[in-house]
Protein backbone atom coordinates (compact mmCIF):
# COMPACT_ATOMS: atom_id res chain seq x y z
CA UNK A 1 0.00 0.00 0.00
CA UNK A 2 1.25 3.41 -1.01
CA UNK A 3 2.14 5.54 2.01
CA UNK A 4 1.34 9.15 1.26
CA UNK A 5 2.83 10.59 4.43
CA UNK A 6 6.26 12.03 4.22
CA UNK A 7 7.08 15.03 6.40
CA UNK A 8 5.40 16.57 9.44
CA UNK A 9 4.51 20.25 8.97
CA UNK A 10 6.61 22.91 10.70
CA UNK A 11 5.09 24.17 13.94
CA UNK A 12 3.64 27.66 13.81
CA UNK A 13 6.04 30.18 15.28
CA UNK A 14 4.67 33.40 16.73
CA UNK A 15 7.08 36.26 17.21
CA UNK A 16 6.67 37.89 20.58
CA UNK A 17 8.12 41.26 21.58
CA UNK A 18 11.06 39.49 23.23
CA UNK A 19 11.41 36.11 21.55
CA UNK A 20 9.80 33.35 19.49
CA UNK A 21 7.03 31.12 20.77
CA UNK A 22 5.47 27.89 19.54
CA UNK A 23 1.89 26.70 19.86
CA UNK A 24 0.72 23.47 21.48
CA UNK A 25 -2.90 22.42 20.99
CA UNK A 26 -4.98 19.45 22.17
CA UNK A 27 -8.66 18.98 21.32
CA UNK A 28 -11.64 17.38 22.99
CA UNK A 29 -14.10 16.83 20.15
CA UNK A 30 -17.75 16.08 20.91
CA UNK A 31 -19.32 14.15 18.07
CA UNK A 32 -23.00 13.33 18.15
CA UNK A 33 -23.53 9.64 17.45
CA UNK A 34 -25.58 9.08 14.30
CA UNK A 35 -28.46 7.17 15.90
CA UNK A 36 -32.26 7.43 15.77
CA UNK A 37 -32.58 6.99 19.54
CA UNK A 38 -30.79 8.43 22.57
CA UNK A 39 -28.00 6.77 24.57
CA UNK A 40 -30.13 5.50 27.45
CA UNK A 41 -33.71 6.00 26.24
CA UNK A 42 -35.80 5.26 23.16
CA UNK A 43 -36.65 8.93 22.54
CA UNK A 44 -36.00 10.26 19.05
CA UNK A 45 -32.93 12.35 18.22
CA UNK A 46 -34.50 14.11 15.22
CA UNK A 47 -33.08 17.60 14.74
CA UNK A 48 -35.50 20.52 14.45
CA UNK A 49 -38.44 18.84 16.23
CA UNK A 50 -40.88 20.90 18.34
CA UNK A 51 -39.23 21.85 21.66
CA UNK A 52 -39.56 19.08 24.27
CA UNK A 53 -41.20 16.70 21.78
CA UNK A 54 -38.36 14.17 22.03
CA UNK A 55 -38.29 13.67 25.78
CA UNK A 56 -38.97 10.39 27.55
CA UNK A 57 -39.41 9.95 31.31
CA UNK A 58 -35.77 8.82 31.45
CA UNK A 59 -34.56 12.02 29.75
CA UNK A 60 -36.73 14.12 32.07
CA UNK A 61 -35.23 12.23 35.04
CA UNK A 62 -38.55 11.27 36.54
CA UNK A 63 -38.06 9.47 39.87
CA UNK A 64 -37.55 5.75 39.48
CA UNK A 65 -36.73 5.81 35.78
CA UNK A 66 -33.77 3.66 34.79
CA UNK A 67 -31.34 4.08 31.89
CA UNK A 68 -31.01 1.24 29.38
CA UNK A 69 -27.93 1.30 27.16
CA UNK A 70 -28.54 1.61 23.40
CA UNK A 71 -26.51 -1.16 21.74
CA UNK A 72 -26.41 0.66 18.42
CA UNK A 73 -24.71 3.69 20.00
CA UNK A 74 -22.10 1.40 21.55
CA UNK A 75 -21.48 -0.18 18.13
CA UNK A 76 -21.07 3.30 16.60
CA UNK A 77 -18.43 4.20 19.21
CA UNK A 78 -16.58 0.94 18.54
CA UNK A 79 -16.79 1.59 14.80
CA UNK A 80 -15.34 5.06 15.30
CA UNK A 81 -12.56 3.64 17.45
CA UNK A 82 -11.66 1.09 14.78
CA UNK A 83 -11.70 3.84 12.13
CA UNK A 84 -9.17 5.76 14.23
CA UNK A 85 -7.01 2.62 14.55
CA UNK A 86 -7.63 2.64 18.28
CA UNK A 87 -7.67 0.05 20.99
CA UNK A 88 -11.19 -1.16 21.87
CA UNK A 89 -11.76 -1.82 25.55
CA UNK A 90 -13.90 -4.92 26.04
CA UNK A 91 -14.79 -3.68 29.50
CA UNK A 92 -15.77 -0.06 30.12
CA UNK A 93 -17.95 1.64 32.72
CA UNK A 94 -20.20 4.66 33.18
CA UNK A 95 -19.73 7.34 35.81
CA UNK A 96 -21.88 10.18 37.05
CA UNK A 97 -20.44 13.65 36.60
CA UNK A 98 -22.41 15.81 39.00
CA UNK A 99 -23.24 19.41 38.30
CA UNK A 100 -26.26 21.69 38.35
CA UNK A 101 -27.70 23.28 35.28
CA UNK A 102 -31.36 23.92 34.37
CA UNK A 103 -31.05 21.94 31.14
CA UNK A 104 -29.72 18.88 33.00
CA UNK A 105 -32.70 17.42 34.88
CA UNK A 106 -30.75 14.49 36.33
CA UNK A 107 -28.31 16.81 38.08
CA UNK A 108 -25.50 14.73 36.61
CA UNK A 109 -24.24 13.68 33.22
CA UNK A 110 -23.55 9.99 32.58
CA UNK A 111 -20.05 9.77 31.12
CA UNK A 112 -17.00 7.48 31.18
CA UNK A 113 -14.14 8.95 33.19
CA UNK A 114 -12.18 5.97 34.50
CA UNK A 115 -12.84 3.28 31.89
CA UNK A 116 -13.62 4.61 28.41
CA UNK A 117 -14.83 2.31 25.65
CA UNK A 118 -11.99 3.29 23.28
CA UNK A 119 -8.31 3.70 24.16
CA UNK A 120 -5.31 4.97 22.22
CA UNK A 121 -5.49 5.56 18.49
CA UNK A 122 -4.14 7.86 15.83
CA UNK A 123 -5.16 10.19 13.00
CA UNK A 124 -3.17 11.54 10.08
CA UNK A 125 -3.93 15.17 9.38
CA UNK A 126 -3.10 16.11 5.79
CA UNK A 127 -1.50 19.52 5.44
CA UNK A 128 -0.71 19.40 1.72
CA UNK A 129 0.81 16.85 -0.65
CA UNK A 130 3.53 14.90 1.15
CA UNK A 131 2.92 16.66 4.47
CA UNK A 132 0.90 15.20 7.32
CA UNK A 133 0.72 15.49 11.09
CA UNK A 134 0.33 12.28 13.08
CA UNK A 135 -2.00 13.07 16.00
CA UNK A 136 -2.32 10.64 18.87
CA UNK A 137 -5.80 9.93 20.20
CA UNK A 138 -5.84 9.44 23.94
CA UNK A 139 -9.36 8.00 24.31
CA UNK A 140 -12.96 8.10 23.14
CA UNK A 141 -15.72 7.88 25.69
CA UNK A 142 -19.49 7.76 25.41
CA UNK A 143 -21.56 10.32 27.27
CA UNK A 144 -24.91 12.08 27.33
CA UNK A 145 -25.50 15.48 25.80
CA UNK A 146 -27.30 18.16 27.86
CA UNK A 147 -30.45 20.06 26.88
CA UNK A 148 -30.59 23.64 25.72
CA UNK A 149 -31.42 26.78 27.67
CA UNK A 150 -32.93 29.42 25.43
CA UNK A 151 -32.22 32.90 26.72
CA UNK A 152 -33.20 35.05 23.75
CA UNK A 153 -36.87 34.19 23.16
CA UNK A 154 -38.32 36.27 25.96
CA UNK A 155 -37.02 39.35 27.81
CA UNK A 156 -37.88 37.98 31.27
CA UNK A 157 -37.72 34.20 31.02
CA UNK A 158 -35.31 31.48 30.07
CA UNK A 159 -36.84 28.47 28.36
CA UNK A 160 -35.53 24.94 28.45
CA UNK A 161 -35.66 22.50 25.54
CA UNK A 162 -34.80 18.95 26.56
CA UNK A 163 -34.83 17.41 23.05
CA UNK A 164 -31.04 17.10 23.10
CA UNK A 165 -30.93 15.79 26.68
CA UNK A 166 -29.51 12.28 26.69
CA UNK A 167 -28.45 12.20 23.04
CA UNK A 168 -25.29 10.07 22.67
CA UNK A 169 -21.98 11.87 22.23
CA UNK A 170 -18.55 10.47 21.58
CA UNK A 171 -15.87 12.59 23.19
CA UNK A 172 -12.66 12.14 21.23
CA UNK A 173 -9.65 13.37 23.22
CA UNK A 174 -6.38 14.06 21.40
CA UNK A 175 -2.90 14.33 22.84
CA UNK A 176 -1.42 17.84 22.60
CA UNK A 177 0.09 17.06 19.19
CA UNK A 178 -1.28 19.90 17.08
CA UNK A 179 1.08 22.78 16.43
CA UNK A 180 -0.92 25.51 14.71
CA UNK A 181 -4.43 26.91 14.11
CA UNK A 182 -4.66 25.45 10.58
CA UNK A 183 -3.63 22.03 11.83
CA UNK A 184 -6.25 22.13 14.58
CA UNK A 185 -8.99 22.96 12.09
CA UNK A 186 -7.71 20.34 9.65
CA UNK A 187 -7.74 17.78 12.47
CA UNK A 188 -11.41 18.44 13.17
CA UNK A 189 -12.00 18.21 9.41
CA UNK A 190 -10.22 14.86 9.26
CA UNK A 191 -12.24 13.43 12.16
CA UNK A 192 -15.39 14.64 10.48
CA UNK A 193 -14.34 13.05 7.19
CA UNK A 194 -13.54 9.68 8.80
CA UNK A 195 -16.79 9.62 10.79
CA UNK A 196 -18.81 10.49 7.68
CA UNK A 197 -17.14 7.60 5.86
CA UNK A 198 -17.99 5.34 8.80
CA UNK A 199 -21.53 6.71 9.11
CA UNK A 200 -21.06 7.24 12.85
CA UNK A 201 -21.56 11.05 12.99
CA UNK A 202 -23.16 13.43 10.48
CA UNK A 203 -20.56 16.04 11.30
CA UNK A 204 -22.94 18.92 10.74
CA UNK A 205 -21.22 21.70 12.67
CA UNK A 206 -24.03 24.25 12.25
CA UNK A 207 -26.48 21.91 13.97
CA UNK A 208 -23.98 21.36 16.77
CA UNK A 209 -23.34 17.78 15.68
CA UNK A 210 -19.64 18.29 16.04
CA UNK A 211 -18.09 20.72 18.50
CA UNK A 212 -14.66 21.08 19.98
CA UNK A 213 -13.09 22.23 23.23
CA UNK A 214 -9.73 23.64 22.21
CA UNK A 215 -6.80 23.52 24.67
CA UNK A 216 -4.07 26.01 23.89
CA UNK A 217 -0.67 26.67 25.44
CA UNK A 218 2.55 28.29 24.24
CA UNK A 219 6.15 27.26 24.80
CA UNK A 220 9.66 28.22 23.71
CA UNK A 221 11.28 26.48 20.72
CA UNK A 222 12.79 23.17 21.85
CA UNK A 223 10.39 22.66 24.76
CA UNK A 224 7.94 20.59 22.76
CA UNK A 225 10.71 18.23 21.61
CA UNK A 226 11.69 17.77 25.27
CA UNK A 227 8.05 16.95 26.09
CA UNK A 228 7.93 14.44 23.21
CA UNK A 229 11.06 12.66 24.45
CA UNK A 230 9.96 12.40 28.06
CA UNK A 231 6.14 12.76 27.87
CA UNK A 232 6.67 15.09 30.83
CA UNK A 233 4.04 17.85 30.66
CA UNK A 234 6.13 20.19 32.80
CA UNK A 235 8.08 21.09 29.65
CA UNK A 236 4.88 22.59 28.23
CA UNK A 237 3.16 25.81 29.14
CA UNK A 238 -0.06 26.04 31.17
CA UNK A 239 -3.07 25.59 28.92
CA UNK A 240 -6.40 27.33 28.63
CA UNK A 241 -9.43 25.55 27.29
CA UNK A 242 -11.75 27.34 24.86
CA UNK A 243 -15.18 25.73 25.10
CA UNK A 244 -17.70 24.66 22.52
CA UNK A 245 -16.31 25.79 19.18
CA UNK A 246 -18.46 24.81 16.23
CA UNK A 247 -16.79 26.38 13.22
CA UNK A 248 -13.41 25.69 11.64
CA UNK A 249 -12.87 29.38 11.03
CA UNK A 250 -13.59 30.37 14.62
CA UNK A 251 -11.36 27.57 15.94
CA UNK A 252 -8.45 29.11 14.06
CA UNK A 253 -9.27 32.67 15.09
CA UNK A 254 -9.70 31.70 18.74
CA UNK A 255 -6.38 29.82 18.86
CA UNK A 256 -4.55 32.69 17.26
CA UNK A 257 -6.05 35.21 19.66
CA UNK A 258 -5.49 32.99 22.70
CA UNK A 259 -1.83 32.30 21.84
CA UNK A 260 -1.09 36.01 21.48
CA UNK A 261 -2.86 36.78 24.76
CA UNK A 262 -0.77 34.17 26.60
CA UNK A 263 2.46 35.40 25.01
CA UNK A 264 1.71 38.97 26.05
CA UNK A 265 1.13 37.91 29.65
CA UNK A 266 4.27 35.74 29.77
CA UNK A 267 6.50 38.40 28.24
CA UNK A 268 5.19 40.92 30.76
CA UNK A 269 6.44 38.58 33.49
CA UNK A 270 3.01 37.19 34.38
CA UNK A 271 1.83 33.60 34.45
CA UNK A 272 -1.07 31.77 32.80
CA UNK A 273 -4.00 30.68 34.97
CA UNK A 274 -5.41 27.36 33.87
CA UNK A 275 -9.01 28.18 33.07
CA UNK A 276 -11.98 27.65 30.81
CA UNK A 277 -12.60 30.44 28.31
CA UNK A 278 -15.23 31.36 25.74
CA UNK A 279 -14.61 32.77 22.28
CA UNK A 280 -16.63 35.90 21.55
CA UNK A 281 -17.27 35.73 17.83
CA UNK A 282 -18.27 39.38 17.50
CA UNK A 283 -15.29 40.78 19.37
CA UNK A 284 -12.84 38.16 18.05
CA UNK A 285 -11.44 37.51 21.51
CA UNK A 286 -11.53 34.87 24.23
CA UNK A 287 -12.69 35.72 27.74
CA UNK A 288 -12.63 33.90 31.02
CA UNK A 289 -15.66 31.75 31.84
CA UNK A 290 -14.54 29.93 34.98
CA UNK A 291 -11.36 28.72 36.62
CA UNK A 292 -10.34 25.17 35.74
CA UNK A 293 -12.49 22.54 37.41
CA UNK A 294 -11.00 19.24 38.57
CA UNK A 295 -12.49 15.75 38.52
CA UNK A 296 -13.19 15.94 42.26
CA UNK A 297 -15.28 19.09 41.75
CA UNK A 298 -17.75 16.88 39.89
CA UNK A 299 -17.71 14.15 42.52
CA UNK A 300 -17.49 11.47 39.85
CA UNK A 301 -18.59 8.00 40.92
CA UNK A 302 -19.68 4.83 39.10
CA UNK A 303 -23.33 5.07 38.07
CA UNK A 304 -25.13 2.52 40.28
CA UNK A 305 -27.93 2.21 37.69
CA UNK A 306 -25.59 0.82 35.04
CA UNK A 307 -23.49 -2.31 35.17
CA UNK A 308 -20.02 -2.15 33.65
CA UNK A 309 -20.28 -2.57 29.90
CA UNK A 310 -18.77 -5.81 28.63
CA UNK A 311 -18.54 -6.50 24.93
CA UNK A 312 -17.15 -9.52 23.11
CA UNK A 313 -14.13 -9.62 20.84
CA UNK A 314 -16.18 -11.53 18.24
CA UNK A 315 -18.69 -8.65 18.12
CA UNK A 316 -15.85 -6.15 17.69
CA UNK A 317 -14.41 -8.33 14.91
CA UNK A 318 -17.77 -8.34 13.12
CA UNK A 319 -17.82 -4.53 13.23
CA UNK A 320 -14.22 -4.45 11.99
CA UNK A 321 -15.05 -6.56 8.93
CA UNK A 322 -17.92 -4.21 8.06
CA UNK A 323 -15.75 -1.07 7.92
CA UNK A 324 -15.65 0.72 4.57
CA UNK A 325 -12.47 1.79 2.81
CA UNK A 326 -11.29 4.81 4.80
CA UNK A 327 -10.08 8.19 3.45
CA UNK A 328 -6.30 7.56 3.64
CA UNK A 329 -6.59 4.22 1.88
CA UNK A 330 -8.99 5.54 -0.74
CA UNK A 331 -6.72 8.48 -1.46
CA UNK A 332 -3.66 6.23 -1.88
CA UNK A 333 -5.65 3.90 -4.15
CA UNK A 334 -6.85 6.80 -6.33
CA UNK A 335 -3.23 7.85 -6.86
CA UNK A 336 -2.07 4.39 -7.92
CA UNK A 337 -5.21 3.18 -9.70
CA UNK A 338 -6.09 6.29 -11.69
CA UNK A 339 -2.64 7.86 -11.93
CA UNK A 340 -3.85 11.18 -10.54
CA UNK A 341 -1.93 13.58 -8.31
CA UNK A 342 -2.14 13.34 -4.54
CA UNK A 343 -3.79 16.75 -4.57
CA UNK A 344 -6.58 15.61 -6.91
CA UNK A 345 -7.01 12.39 -4.97
CA UNK A 346 -7.39 14.49 -1.82
CA UNK A 347 -10.10 16.63 -3.41
CA UNK A 348 -12.02 13.62 -4.72
CA UNK A 349 -11.90 11.68 -1.45
CA UNK A 350 -12.63 14.66 0.83
CA UNK A 351 -16.21 13.51 0.98
CA UNK A 352 -17.36 9.91 0.67
CA UNK A 353 -20.21 10.84 -1.70
CA UNK A 354 -17.86 12.78 -3.98
CA UNK A 355 -15.54 9.78 -4.16
CA UNK A 356 -18.40 7.43 -5.03
CA UNK A 357 -19.60 9.77 -7.78
CA UNK A 358 -16.12 9.98 -9.26
CA UNK A 359 -15.64 6.21 -9.26
CA UNK A 360 -18.92 5.73 -11.09
CA UNK A 361 -18.04 8.35 -13.70
CA UNK A 362 -14.51 6.94 -14.14
CA UNK A 363 -15.35 3.22 -14.30
CA UNK A 364 -13.73 1.73 -17.40
CA UNK A 365 -12.59 5.15 -18.61
CA UNK A 366 -9.51 7.39 -18.57
CA UNK A 367 -9.22 8.13 -14.84
CA UNK A 368 -7.19 11.29 -15.21
CA UNK A 369 -9.64 12.75 -17.72
CA UNK A 370 -12.55 11.78 -15.47
CA UNK A 371 -10.82 13.41 -12.45
CA UNK A 372 -10.35 16.56 -14.45
CA UNK A 373 -14.00 16.72 -15.45
CA UNK A 374 -15.34 15.95 -12.01
CA UNK A 375 -13.05 18.41 -10.22
CA UNK A 376 -12.81 21.30 -12.64
CA UNK A 377 -16.15 21.31 -14.42
CA UNK A 378 -18.59 19.63 -12.07
CA UNK A 379 -17.28 20.60 -8.61
CA UNK A 380 -16.53 24.10 -9.86
CA UNK A 381 -20.07 24.49 -11.08
CA UNK A 382 -21.70 22.92 -8.02
CA UNK A 383 -19.66 25.08 -5.68
CA UNK A 384 -20.65 28.24 -7.52
CA UNK A 385 -24.29 27.37 -6.92
CA UNK A 386 -23.78 26.15 -3.35
CA UNK A 387 -24.87 22.58 -4.15
CA UNK A 388 -23.33 19.37 -2.95
CA UNK A 389 -22.88 16.26 -5.03
CA UNK A 390 -26.22 14.77 -3.98
CA UNK A 391 -27.92 17.69 -5.72
CA UNK A 392 -25.93 17.43 -8.94
CA UNK A 393 -28.25 17.85 -11.92
CA UNK A 394 -25.90 15.74 -14.00
CA UNK A 395 -25.57 12.09 -13.03
CA UNK A 396 -22.28 10.19 -12.90
CA UNK A 397 -23.49 8.06 -15.83
CA UNK A 398 -24.10 11.18 -17.93
CA UNK A 399 -20.73 12.67 -17.06
CA UNK A 400 -19.22 9.32 -18.04
CA UNK A 401 -20.96 9.64 -21.42
CA UNK A 402 -19.25 12.97 -22.05
CA UNK A 403 -15.89 11.37 -21.31
CA UNK A 404 -16.73 8.53 -23.72
CA UNK A 405 -17.71 11.01 -26.46
CA UNK A 406 -14.36 12.79 -26.07
CA UNK A 407 -12.50 9.46 -26.02
CA UNK A 408 -14.15 8.28 -29.24
CA UNK A 409 -13.32 11.58 -30.92
CA UNK A 410 -17.03 12.38 -31.38
CA UNK A 411 -16.60 15.76 -29.70
CA UNK A 412 -13.61 17.95 -28.92
CA UNK A 413 -12.82 19.03 -25.37
CA UNK A 414 -14.19 22.46 -26.22
CA UNK A 415 -17.51 21.20 -27.58
CA UNK A 416 -17.68 18.88 -24.57
CA UNK A 417 -17.98 21.95 -22.36
CA UNK A 418 -21.02 23.08 -24.34
CA UNK A 419 -22.51 19.60 -24.07
CA UNK A 420 -21.84 19.65 -20.31
CA UNK A 421 -23.62 22.99 -20.01
CA UNK A 422 -26.72 21.69 -21.80
CA UNK A 423 -26.72 18.42 -19.86
CA UNK A 424 -26.25 20.32 -16.57
CA UNK A 425 -29.11 22.72 -17.17
CA UNK A 426 -31.59 20.35 -18.82
CA UNK A 427 -30.71 16.90 -17.45
CA UNK A 428 -30.63 15.53 -21.03
CA UNK A 429 -28.26 12.68 -21.94
CA UNK A 430 -25.01 13.90 -23.55
CA UNK A 431 -25.08 11.30 -26.36
CA UNK A 432 -28.57 12.43 -27.33
CA UNK A 433 -27.58 16.13 -27.11
CA UNK A 434 -24.67 15.60 -29.52
CA UNK A 435 -26.94 13.84 -32.03
CA UNK A 436 -29.94 16.19 -31.92
CA UNK A 437 -27.93 19.39 -31.75
CA UNK A 438 -25.56 18.28 -34.51
CA UNK A 439 -22.53 18.74 -32.32
CA UNK A 440 -20.58 15.76 -33.56
CA UNK A 441 -17.02 16.62 -34.48
CA UNK A 442 -16.13 16.59 -38.18
CA UNK A 443 -13.37 14.04 -38.64
CA UNK A 444 -14.17 13.51 -42.30
CA UNK A 445 -10.91 14.78 -43.80
CA UNK A 446 -12.60 15.51 -47.15
CA UNK A 447 -14.88 18.07 -45.52
CA UNK A 448 -11.99 19.59 -43.57
CA UNK A 449 -9.80 19.77 -46.67
CA UNK A 450 -12.51 21.62 -48.55
CA UNK A 451 -12.79 24.15 -45.73
CA UNK A 452 -9.02 24.61 -45.61
CA UNK A 453 -8.85 25.11 -49.40
CA UNK A 454 -11.51 27.76 -49.18
CA UNK A 455 -9.71 29.72 -46.47
CA UNK A 456 -6.38 29.49 -48.34
CA UNK A 457 -7.94 30.66 -51.62
CA UNK A 458 -9.61 33.63 -49.96
CA UNK A 459 -6.48 34.86 -48.13
CA UNK A 460 -3.42 34.91 -50.44
CA UNK A 461 -1.65 37.61 -48.44
CA UNK A 462 -1.92 35.57 -45.21
CA UNK A 463 -0.58 32.53 -47.08
CA UNK A 464 2.58 34.48 -48.00
CA UNK A 465 3.07 35.59 -44.41
CA UNK A 466 2.57 32.09 -43.02
CA UNK A 467 5.08 30.58 -45.42
CA UNK A 468 7.64 33.11 -44.14
CA UNK A 469 6.62 32.59 -40.52
CA UNK A 470 5.09 29.11 -39.81
CA UNK A 471 3.82 30.28 -36.43
CA UNK A 472 1.06 32.12 -38.30
CA UNK A 473 -0.46 28.80 -39.42
CA UNK A 474 -2.53 29.01 -36.25
CA UNK A 475 -4.55 31.78 -37.83
CA UNK A 476 -5.68 29.38 -40.58
CA UNK A 477 -6.62 26.73 -38.03
CA UNK A 478 -8.74 29.34 -36.26
CA UNK A 479 -10.49 30.34 -39.45
CA UNK A 480 -11.29 26.74 -40.37
CA UNK A 481 -12.63 26.05 -36.87
CA UNK A 482 -14.83 29.12 -37.19
CA UNK A 483 -16.07 28.06 -40.62
CA UNK A 484 -17.02 24.61 -39.25
CA UNK A 485 -18.74 25.94 -36.15
CA UNK A 486 -15.99 24.54 -33.90
CA UNK A 487 -16.89 21.01 -34.88
CA UNK A 488 -13.82 20.12 -36.94
CA UNK A 489 -11.29 17.89 -35.21
CA UNK A 490 -8.56 20.43 -34.30
CA UNK A 491 -5.76 17.91 -34.70
CA UNK A 492 -6.87 17.00 -38.21
CA UNK A 493 -7.28 20.69 -39.13
CA UNK A 494 -3.78 21.42 -37.91
CA UNK A 495 -2.26 18.61 -39.95
CA UNK A 496 -4.13 19.54 -43.13
CA UNK A 497 -3.32 23.26 -42.78
CA UNK A 498 0.43 22.63 -42.34
CA UNK A 499 0.36 20.16 -45.23
CA UNK A 500 -1.44 22.46 -47.63
CA UNK A 501 0.71 25.46 -46.77
CA UNK A 502 3.79 23.27 -47.25
CA UNK A 503 5.21 24.12 -43.81
Where along the sequence are the contacts to ligand ADP (CB under 6 A)? 24-28, 173-176, 215-217, 233, 236-237, 239, 241
Task: End-to-end CA distance of the chain: give it in Å, rounded.
Answer: 50
CA dihedral of residues 87, 205, 94, 85 (deg, nearest 10): 0
* Gap between the Cα atoms of 60 and 52, Å rounded: 10
The residues, any chain, with a CB within 8 Å of residue 129's CB and separated by 6 or more, are 341, 342, 343, 346
From residue 32, how far is each of 5, 56, 145, 414 by CA, in Å?
29, 19, 8, 46
Least distance (Å) between residue 235 CB and ligand ADP: 9
Nearest residue (CB) to ligand ADP, 241 versus 351: 241
Nearest residue (CB) to ligand ADP, 218 versus 326: 218
Nearest residue (CB) to ligand ADP, 175 versus 260: 175
Phi, psi of 217 (to 5 degrees): -140, 170
What letter would DSSP give residue 88? B
Nearest residue (CB) to ligand ADP, 258 versus 359: 258
Least distance (Å) between residue 216 CB and ligand ADP: 6
Nearest residue (CB) to ligand ADP, 274 versus 341: 274
Nearest residue (CB) to ligand ADP, 225 versus 305: 225
Nearest residue (CB) to ligand ADP, 258 versus 342: 258
In degrees, to the nearest 5, what angle opens at C-alpha 455 toward C-alphas 454 and 457?
A: 65
Least distance (Å) between residue 300 CB and ligand ADP: 11
> Do 85 and 277 contact (CB within 8 A), yes or no?
no
Least distance (Å) between residue 176 CB and ligand ADP: 4
* Gap between the Cα atoms of 503 and 156, Å rounded: 88
- 450: left (phi > 0), else alpha (psi -120 to 50), else beta? alpha
Q: Among all residues, whose Cβ is closest to ligand ADP?
A: 26
- Going by C-alpha positions, the residue among 240, 243, 296, 246 that lies closest to residue 273 is 240
Least distance (Å) between residue 239 CB and ligand ADP: 4
Nearest residue (CB) to ligand ADP, 24 versus 84: 24
The residues, any chain, with a CB within 8 Å of residue 360's CB and separated by 6 or more, are 396, 397, 400
Least distance (Å) between residue 139 CB and ligand ADP: 8
For 13-48, give the DSSP string. Answer: EEE-SSSEEEEEEEEEEEEE---SB-SSS--B--TT
What letter would DSSP give residue 92? E
The residues, any chain, with a CB within 8 Å of residue 416's CB and separated by 6 or more, are 402, 405, 406
Nearest residue (CB) to ligand ADP, 222 versus 409: 222
Least distance (Å) between residue 123 CB and ligand ADP: 13
Neighbouring-strand partners of residue 26:
215
Nearest residue (CB) to ligand ADP, 243 versus 365: 243
Chain centre to alpha carbon of residue 392:
19
Neighbouring-strand partners of residue 111:
95
List helix spans (H) across 199-310.
223-230, 248-267
Least distance (Å) between residue 7 CB and ligand ADP: 23
* Gap between the Cα atoms of 298 and 110, Å rounded: 12
Nearest residue (CB) to ligand ADP, 174 versus 479: 174
Least distance (Å) between residue 268 CB and ligand ADP: 20
Least distance (Å) between residue 187 CB and ligand ADP: 11
* Gap between the Cα atoms of 205 and 196, Å rounded: 13
Least distance (Å) between residue 105 CB and ligand ADP: 24
Amino acid sequence: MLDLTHEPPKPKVIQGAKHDWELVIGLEVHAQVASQAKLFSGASTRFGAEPNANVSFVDAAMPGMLPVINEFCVAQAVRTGLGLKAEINLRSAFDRKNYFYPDLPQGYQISQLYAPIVGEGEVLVDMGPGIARRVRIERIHLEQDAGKSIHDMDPNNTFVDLNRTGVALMEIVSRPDLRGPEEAAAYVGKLRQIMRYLGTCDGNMQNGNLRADVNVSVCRPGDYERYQETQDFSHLGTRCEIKNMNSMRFIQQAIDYEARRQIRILEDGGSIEQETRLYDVDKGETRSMRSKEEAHDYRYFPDPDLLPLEIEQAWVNDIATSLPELPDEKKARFVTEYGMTEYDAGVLTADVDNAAYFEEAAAGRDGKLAANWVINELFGRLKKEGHDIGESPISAAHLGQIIDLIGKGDISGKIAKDVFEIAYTTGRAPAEIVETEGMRQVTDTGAIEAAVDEVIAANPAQVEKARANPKLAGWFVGQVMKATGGKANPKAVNEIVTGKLGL
